[in-house]
Structures are given as structure tokens and as C-alpha cells.
Amino acid sequence: MNTPFSPMGQPVDRVDGRLKVTGHARYAGEYPEDGLLHGSVVSSSIASGRVLTIDTREALKVPGVVAVIDHTNRPPVASYDEKYEDADSAEGSPFRPFYNDKVLYSGQPLALVVAETLELARHAGSLVRIEYEQKLHETDLSTALDQAHDAPAELPEPRGNFEAELAGSALSVDVTYSTPSEYHNPMEPHASTVLYQADGSLNIHDKTQGPQNCQDYLHKVFGLDKDKIRVQAAFVGGAFGSGLRPQYQLPLAVMAALQLKRSVRVTLTRQQMFTFGYRPRTVQRLQLGAAANGRLLAVGHEAIGQTSRFEDFTEHVVEWSGMLYHCDNVKLTYKLVPLDVYTPLDMRAPGAALGMIGLECAMDELACAVAIDPVRLRVINFAERNGNEDKPYSSKELLECYRQGAERFGWEQRNPEPRSMREGRQLVGWGMAGGVWEAMQNKASAKARIDAQGKLVVSSATTDIGTGTYTVMTQIAAESCGVELDNVTFLLGDSSLPTAPLQGGSFTVSSVGTAVQQACQALQRQLLEVAKELHPAYASATPDQVRFEAGQLHLGNQAVSMAELAAAQADGAIEVQVDAEPDKKRDAYATATHSAVFVEVLVDEDLGTIRVNRVVNAVAAGRVVNPKMARSQILGGVVWGMGMALQEEALLDHDLGRPMNHSLAEYHIPVNADIGDIDVLFVEEHDEIVNALGSKGVGEIGIVGVAAAIANAVYHATGKRVREFPITLDKLL
């Protein structure tokens, strides 16, 4: 009996792995060009005010310096007199580099020194002298909470009677949690290499999660025809959301290239990676009311986040509290405080990574108040439907996540009493939390082409930010077309390819993967039509009767190769392109990934140091296309969650209005020595509604719930509830 041909679901190695480990994968700041100029950004040292003078005389005396560009001598910019947006823009007016003399935040780019080498440009940048008229600034959320206004977010309407049910609850908790600002800091800093062509067109290599978004942005900002702009991002060294919007090095590099009619590269320093978007600081109040048996009667979640003075950045912080558990009386509030800072930006599991800290820590406090096991409390309040939308879930194996995760962790051996478990001088804490992330799908297009050698090339303008997109799309294409993996190439990261959404939100496999699948299926139909013309045996064959496998069309004992069919065409190839969009049957359902995170921490009783000793993360994400890639995504999310819980925070000097720890030496993130055992468990989940692949994506869900589970474990170990993140030893001692 033949085993079905199925590359999907296999732990295939990265198809781009060899290029990466041998250094042949080129990133945005690595493309060579004769005569390439280098730009270095000069940043504002004040947080609010205006520029009086920019003295560039000493910088221009440096041999090899070609130009210094600022708001006084920049080339005309088409859109600077009108509002424009990009695909990930917030409500308001987007930041315009070199727009005028106003300083909106500390670190704002004020000048660009262009020179023959990067070292010369940076040295000359240090010689630029800027005189300011300084204004009072406000960068501290905690002192400006009274200035909060409603966020322009589409929040679910309050349901039931929250206040009355809370007041009448047998038990309730009313607690406030705070989280700090965090910065993306991917390994590859942001860079743009703008290669100026003889005809005035631009070939750009940019660090981005959406080359077509950057192309559209430059088209709007500079008034250039789209066919004059090609944006490529073949390899991206991590992004986590920092590449969703075009960052300021891109327009500055284009500005310089257009003015000088030369190729220009602008690379940001690690310190300048702290001068644009970030995860916003929040203050969250949770009010939960429950019956004596633990059943939720009232859920209130109010979040206040920071934003810039020029845009209202919104994300889904509180919505999860209205959908993860069943409750008939819910009130969700989300407000923003404008400060003299740059606009925040989506950052891995935006909103959920923050909002679930508040919800899942409050649920742990409720479990203690009603003396019910934290897992049991969540099972009691399991929601069959999404209460915000009043829709059933397309699939939801969260109960299995609880069960299998608890079993793998050994949760039944937990003594619920805080400070009751120890190993020598180490207090042992066991904590858990749930996780949820919306399973989205966007429109996407893909092209599939098979040639006379039987080589299948599939393409779409998505990116691979290290998540394994090259590999999983290759697997989807191989299975959907019936071609061996070695004969498949997936092209991405190029604005000239078929349309794709930004890579983010865990919707790339659902969106682009569906387009790839449909393109390959359309190619199969085209191959069958050609076979009918060339081979009488196939003349009356229907698609159901033909088997596509290993590059051949099988019909009974007959077989014809796809290569032969392609060779018979005038141009020696068969090509199709499709536009895919979400199936209408999704509309009646809520779609989401879910998880259950179990954590063991060891807390030194004398020193207050915390070590995350082991983690079990049980995830239900539909069909997993590549378990090796998916596991890596969850591992990365768990490690980041450890950082959120225990280390990561931007420490602002509010007198200066900027981060003091703007380096990877002082901005603390987990390193290998901090990591204990991480066990990733994928719970089987079948979903024929979410998309034809049955896949929900795993990029975001790995981080959700981790920080809360660690905080709950720290409480269990020490008996001390820390509500200000990160949980550092000074807060425990």
C-alpha cells in the first residue's frame, strides 16, 4: 500500500539554513555597490522644543564627507503637505523625518551625514552642532495618568451589569498591574541600501516585514511611480514587529539618494534602535467577581497605555478578558496617555502579551481567594463561545492544553500553600497561565510555475523574519502540487512578486500558505488539461481520478511527468497565479489559538534571585506544518516571556526623556545561562473552518501567558505578590 505523499507535518530542515550558517545570506546592510555612500543619523538630544540652528561646517570639512542633509536643505518631499498612511499606521499623523524645526521626542533624527565610508559619516556626525529652544516635556506615564483619553479602539460593548454583579459577588479581587516599555532589539539592526539606477529608479534592500508596504509608503511620500521603486528583503535577521512600519532610515536613505543621484546606505546603531517603536508601558486594573464555587460573575479590565503626541497607538490589550473565560457581565476599558515620546509599535503578540499578564495574574489571585486550584478555576470558567463576538469557536482544544500540560508537568503533585515547597535553600514555586491569540487570515496572492526540468517555483511578496517561511511554503507547495521537496523553490521578499500582507500576527501561513496551496492546485488543473491534449489516456480523466505525486500525473497504471507537459508548451513552462482570501464560512465562527503554560521557579531565600527551572507550554494551533520550526517559535516565545517577567524594561531618565539603558549590555534579556528546560507540546487540533490548511500559526502564542505563569510561580514560591513588572530581586527582598 502506498503511503500518501505528505511533506506537510514533517520536521523538514530550513531550506535557507545552509546560506545562513555559511554567511551567504545577505541582509539589508550587506549589499555591495561601487561608489556606495554611507549615511549616519544625527539624533536629537532633547525631548521637546525646536531646532534654532544646525551647524554643519566642521562636519563638511572632513575629507570624504559628501553632504549633510537636514530640514533646511532636504529635497522636496511630495507628501509632507498631506496626510499619508502605511499598512500598519496608527491613528493620527505619522512621523515625518526632517519635516520642520520641531523636536517631538529625544532621539529624533535631525540630520544625515553622508560620506564615502560609514566611519567617516559617524565621525563627521559627532561634529554637527545643534542649538535648541527647549520646552518642558513629559515622558512618565505614571505621573500623567490623569491626562488619559479613550483610545480609538473598537472595544466590545459592555455586557450584563458589571458593577452590580461585582458588588454582589461572594469573592472578588481588585488589583493593578504595571508593565514597562520594551524594545524589539532584533539581532539585525535596521538598515536600508538604496541603489540608485541610471534611469532614476530605486532598487532598495530594506529590513522590513513588508516590502510592498515600503514600496507603497515611498510611492506616497516621494511621489515616485511604483514601477520606479523595487523593495527587497530576501533575509531579515529578526524583527518581532519592528519591521511592520517603514522606519526612518528608509526615507532618509531615499532622500539622500534622490538628492545626490548616488547609491546610499543608512544603518542605525544599536542605540538608535531605541529611537522608534516599542512595546508601550501600561497600567492595568483587573476587577474579578466570583461565586463561592469559582464561577466568574463579573470581569472588568481597564488598561492605560502610553502613546506619542502625534499618533494614538492602539492594540488589543483588554479584549482577551472578554473572550478567554465565560462571563455574562464584562466591562472593558482602554485609554491612552500622550507623551513626548515616539509612537509605540506592535511587538510580538501585541496587546495579548500585555493584557494576559493582567488577566492571568488576577485569575491566580482569584484562585487563591476562593481556594481552588488555578487549573480547576480555568476549567470551571471555560468558554465554548467567544463572548465578545457571541460566536462559537471553529475549534478550541484549550481543555486538552490544560490536561496534557498539567500531566506532562506533574501539576497534581503541587502543594497549593505558598512557601510550602523547597529544595535546600531554594524556594520552589509552581505557577500556570492560559494563552490565547486570534487566528487571522488576510488576502494574499501567489504564483506557481513548473518548467521543462520539473522544477517548481512558487512566489509571493511575503518575508521570512527568521520564522521559517521559506521552508513551510516549500512544504505546502510540494504537497499541494505533488512535487518532491528538492524540486521546489519559494521566492519571497520582493515587492515585484504577487501581493502579500505584512508578515506578522501569526497569519502568514494562513494567508500566504493558502494562496500557495491554491496556486499549486490551479497548476495541477492546468497540467491535467495539457495532459488531456497530449495523451489520449487522460482525455476523459477528472481531477479526482488523477494522483499527483513525485512530479508525475498518475492515472491507473499510466504516468506522465510534469516536466514533459511543461516542455510541450511554447515557452517551456506552465504558470498560474491566484488571489486567495478567507473563506466565507469563517464569518460565523471565532478563530483562535490557545495554550496553557506551566512553570517551575527556584527562588533563593537569602538572595531573592529567581531562576525559571522548567517550563511546559501546551499549544493548540490547528495543523502544524513543520513541527521543528513551530517548536522553535514557541521556544523563542517562552524565552522572551522569561525576559518580560524577570528582566526586560527600558529605564527612562525622565529629566532627559530617553532610555538610559539603550544597549544590549544594560538592556537585560535572557541569555543561555538563564534558561532551564523548556518542553513544547502541540495538542492535536483539527479545524476545517479556519482555512483549507487547517493551520492557525504559532509565532505569537508562544509568548502569551508565560510572564503571568512565572509571576504566579514566584508568588507560590515566596508568598509575595509582585504586581510591577519585571519582577526583580529588589521587589522580592
Return all residues near 384 (Cβ < 8 A) that are at least 6 apart: 326, 392, 393, 396
CB of 667 within 8 A of CB of 648?
Answer: yes
Q: Residue 133, SS3? A: strand
pLDDT given at position 3 = 52
676-694: pLDDT as tens digits? 999 999 999 999 999 999 9
C-alpha cell at 91: 491613528
Bridge partners (DSSP) of residue 134 are 49
460-471: pLDDT as tens digits? 999 999 999 999
pLDDT given at position 79 = 81
pLDDT given at position 78 = 86
* Same fold across 17-23+442-581 and 282-440+587-732: yes
Alpha carbon separation from 77 to 32, 90, 110, 218, 252 (Å, rounded): 27, 21, 16, 10, 11
For 200-217, what is the mean pLDDT?
98
User: Among 29-43, 161-175, 529-543, 625-639, where is mean pLDDT lowest?
Assistant: 529-543
649-675: pLDDT as tens digits? 999 999 999 999 999 999 999 999 999
At position 265, the amino acid (one-letter code) is R
Domain spanning 17-23+442-581, CATH architecture: 2-Layer Sandwich (3.30)
Q: Residue 219, SS3? A: helix
Beta-carbon count within 10 A of 503 CB: 29
pLDDT given at position 457 = 98
pLDDT given at position 85 = 75
Fold held by 31-136+187-239+243-274: Aldehyde Oxidoreductase; domain 3 (3.90.1170)
**DSSP letters for 225-278:** -GGGEEEE-S--S--TTTTSSPPTHHHHHHHHHHHHTS-EEEE--TGGGGSS--
C-alpha cell at 246: 517603514
DSSP-derived secondary structure letter, 509: I
Beta strands 422-423; 202-206: pairing state: unpaired
Beta-carbon count within 10 A of 550 CB: 16
pLDDT given at position 655 = 97
Domain ranges of the chain: 17-23+442-581, 31-136+187-239+243-274, 282-440+587-732
Backbone φ, ψ for residue 589 (5° rounding) = -130, 155
Residue 362 belongs to what H/E stretch? helix 352-370
C-alpha cell at 501: 500582507
pLDDT band for position 83 (cuts 50, 70, 90): low
CB of 432 within 8 A of CB of 712?
Answer: yes
Domain spanning 282-440+587-732, CATH architecture: 2-Layer Sandwich (3.30)
pLDDT given at position 214 = 98
Residue 700 is a catalytic residue = yes
Helix axes 627-646, 352-370, angle to 10 degrees: 70
389-422: pLDDT as tens digits? 999 999 999 999 999 999 999 999 999 999 999 9
**1 pLDDT higher than 60:** no
Closest CA to 506 of 617, 351, 615: 351
Return all residues near 432 (Cβ < 8 A) that are at least 6 apart: 374, 375, 405, 406, 411, 596, 597, 598, 599, 709, 712
Bridge partners (DSSP) of residue 229 are 202
CB of 33 within 8 A of CB of 202?
Answer: no
C-alpha cell at 35: 561608489
For 628-640, what is the mean pLDDT?
98
Pick the catalytic residue from 165, 188, 685, 700.
700
In percent, the amount of the chain with pLDDT more than 90 equals 96
In percent, the amount of the chain with pLDDT more than 70 equals 99
Closest CA to 344 of 310, 313, 320, 384: 313
CB of 296 within 8 A of CB of 330?
Answer: no
Bridge partners (DSSP) of residue 574 are 450
- Looking up cell 523574519, which residue turns up? 465
φ/ψ region of 478 (left if φ > 0, alpha if ψ in -120 to 50, else beta) reads: alpha
